[in-house]
Structure formats: structure tokens, C-alpha cells
Chain A
């Protein structure tokens, strides 16, 4: 069972019954789910025999009744010690939280799993989302499993692999001649006019709860210890805020001891409103009208949780960095060629930030750094094509093969 208590306004503190409510009716600020942590007796051993997916944290998820759970087996993804990338970067204790192996190949299965389940509990008949592609795939998959109609609003130029995936799940794609922020605005209007449950709009307070399970898992996988640093890609900022809440809840429950990890945000230079505000010491975000980056999955020009990201990052002593497209590609290749993990550009942004943190001495040897890899490279494979090297066309004979390989220097086994 869940220990959900209320929805609480992040600004004015007003509390509401945990019903269908997207923002505070008083000041219109975001709402957070609260739980009855005082009466929740969880011990480390409580998790011993539980299923290895995000529903193992059932008490800390906002669904009242189990019968509405839509479970694709998301979560409990590997936390890999990055020994090869440590060697390359001359640093120790790098961990890769590999969320690219979730059922629909991104971390979005966490929030979508919670939100589609919650939509069913709230009695909604149609689900949908505004998305840059990953969430759309995930909501579509969960809607398929739940057997409810699904409409996704996405910019028309999202990657072909993401479109194929959504079509296969049977959702209807509304491809906008616009960017993510247009999709988000239209989703707000559609939810109101058509009564859809747009999971990242209508159910946003519940939706964002799913991602905190990353923090829970990292603690468990580090043998019930907190990492020193965690690097998180920032689009709307919901993920970083959610991971922060996850660590806090485990600390409040005494499941882990120590101090809050330092949270670092990672953005793409071509869409970095949060990083800009961080660097300029602003407590407000200036939105970006036309995001321009290969990291389309995190290209949100008007990030709803941007101010909260900067609040958390400053509080925990972290940074928010902006990474160029060229550096994103280099970082994708670095991670893939050392750890065998092929990430989409959002992961390149994270590894690019890791490199900067090491170069600038902002992480110290001996400290444990977790890198959140949130989406699979096959969803944006166009970026690492034959044009980027290591591609040789040969005749189908051994001579042709040897001519190339022996010329490369390391081809002899």
C-alpha cells in the first residue's frame, strides 16, 4: 500500500487532497506529493524479497490501489562501475546508472509507469503526453498494456526510431509544426478541452514521482550508501528535483546515512536556459525561443522546474553545465567505446559534464560520482553514422579486407 498523504504547494505550502490537480489553485506553483513517513516502517531488509523493478518501492509511490498498476518491469536498471572510463579520464569511482535498458529504452518508463497507472486510478479514459519522443514511446507502451487510447504530441522532426516505436505501440501521433514548448502548451489546452489525461501535465505531481526511484536504486546498489555526486541531464528539470526528493526520503527514513549528494545538472549548449541562469546567478529563467541542439530529447526552452534545479544545485554545492554538440558526440563515443553503453545525446551531455567536473577539480579522487544515462543511443543513431569514421566499404574478399585492416595499425590479433 501507499503512504500518500496529500499534494503540497512548493511555494505557498497549501495542501490538497491527492486528487486530479496539476498546480496549486492559489498561486499556480507546482505541487509535490507528501507521504506519511512517520508511520512508515521500512528497513533495508524489507526489500530483500521484492521484485526487481520500480514497484519494489510501492509505499513511496503515489498510487492508492494496486489493481491499477501498469507494470512493464521498468526500473532496477544496472549501476555499472566504469573501470574503463575511469582509466581514460584518470579518475576513480565513476558509476554509470544505465537507464537506457528500460523496457522502452529510456528512464521515462519510471514516470510514465506511475502516471498511466494513476490516470487509471483517477478514472481517466484517454491518456497522452507532450514529448520530445522518449516519453511518448513510454506512455504509448504503458497505454498499450493498459488497453487505453493514447495521443502523443511531439515536434514533427523527432528521430525516426522514436516515431516507429510509438506507431508500433499503437498510439496516435500528433506531429506538431513547432517545438516541445508548443507541444506542452497545446497539451495543456487539449487536456482541458478534451478531458485527456496528459500525464506530464494533468498528472504532473504524480508523474514526477516515478523518477525518484533512480535515487532509491542507486542507494541500494551502492550497498545502502549515498554517492558523493550525481550528474543528471536537465530538460524541464523534473528529473533532478525528483532524484533529490528520492535521496531525501531515503535519508528521512534512515535507510541511508550521511549527507545529501552533490547534484549537478547537465544541459546542451544549444538549449541551456537553466545553465545560463545558474552561471549568471539569476533566480529566474529566461526561456529559449528556438532551441538548437542535437540533444533533442532535452531541448525544452521553458523548463518548468528550472528555478528549482538551480536552488537544489546551489544548496548541494553542484554546478549546471552546458555542453556543445561536438562535445556531446565525443562523449557518446567515449562512453560507448569504454563501457559498451550506447547513449542518446542526453547521456553525452552528462559525460561531457563529468569531464568538466574532473578537469576543473570539482570532483575529487575517492569521491563516488554517478552518471545518469537516461536514454538509448539507438533512438538517435543518425548522429553516430558512417560519416563519423570507422566505416570502410570493402570488396567481399580477404585481400580487400587486409588492405584496409593492416593499414589501420592495430588490426593484427
Chain B
């Protein structure tokens, strides 16, 4: 089981859920699983027209940015924590 934690305005997309358990073991499949649960709107706003992560979304697996783990191809193991955040610039 993999835990997905959702933050900020993304919570609204996930129909108010801040934490969801998923079964898939690839990030792309996790997004599909969440889209099946929360509807097409979720998928359309997380992924861009090329079916990649949208510019202003950040995804972390165990606190590591998935862009350093192969993006949507990143593998996820039982017990891992996936976080979905809006990209807030800081600086």
C-alpha cells in the first residue's frame, strides 16, 4: 500500500481528500488510479496535453522530487509516501 498526501488547492481536486491509499507501483499508474477515483478533471489538471506532469505541479516520493527519479515512470514501493503539491516559487 502506498500513501498519497495532497496539499493546498489540489485537495479540492481530490474531492476534499488530504490522504489516499493506492495500490499501484508506478507513478503514472497512481495518477490513473486517482483520476479514476476523482474524475477526469483531476487528470486534466495534473497532466498536460503531452500526458506529462503539468508545469505547476510538484510530486515527491519520500521527499524526493520525481523529476530526479524519472518523472511519471518513477517506481513506488509498498510503504512509500507520495506527495502532490502546487509549485510555489519561494526565493
Contact = CB atoms under 8 A, between A and B. Distances in A.
A22 B91 CA distance: 13
B91 A200 contact: yes
B54 to A, nearest CB: 7
Contacts, number: 88
B88 A204 contact: yes
Interface in A287-308: 287, 289, 300, 302-305, 307
B30 to A, nearest CB: 19
A289 B86 contact: no
A180 B90 CA distance: 9
B90 A201 contact: yes
Interface string B34-66: 000000000001000000001111101001010
Main secondary structure of the interface of A (DSSP, over half): loop
B89 A30 contact: yes
A334 interface: no
How large, as a class, is the contact surface on chain B?
20 to 34
B56 A289 contact: no
B12 A300 contact: no
Interface in A200-241: 200-201, 204, 235-239
Given A185-B58, A192-B7, A300 B91 contact: yes
Contacts of B60: 185
Contact of B86 (A28, A238, A302): A28
A200 B91 CA distance: 7
A305 B45 contact: no
Interface string A252-289: 00000000000000000000000000000000101101
B90 A204 contact: yes
B45 A304 contact: no
B70 interface: no
A185 B55 contact: no
A24 B9 CA distance: 8
Contacts of B26: none
A300 B87 CA distance: 14
Given A188-B7, A188-B8, A28 B90 contact: no
Interface string A369-403: 00000000000000000000000000000000000
Contacts of B10: 28
A288 to B, nearest CB: 10
Nearest to B90: A184
A184 B88 contact: yes
Given A185-B63, A192-B8, A302-B65, A23 B90 contact: no
A56 to B, nearest CB: 25
A181 interface: yes
Contact of A284 (B9, B55, B86): B55
Contact of B9 (A28, A187, A204): A28
Interface centre among A181, A185, A201, A238 (most CB of B within 10 A): A185
Interface of B: 7-10, 12, 45, 54-58, 60, 63, 65, 67-68, 83, 85-91
Interface of A: 11, 22-25, 27-30, 130, 180-185, 187-189, 192, 200-201, 204, 235-239, 284, 286-287, 289, 300, 302-305, 307
5 contacts: A25-B9, A27-B54, A29-B55, A182-B63, A287-B65
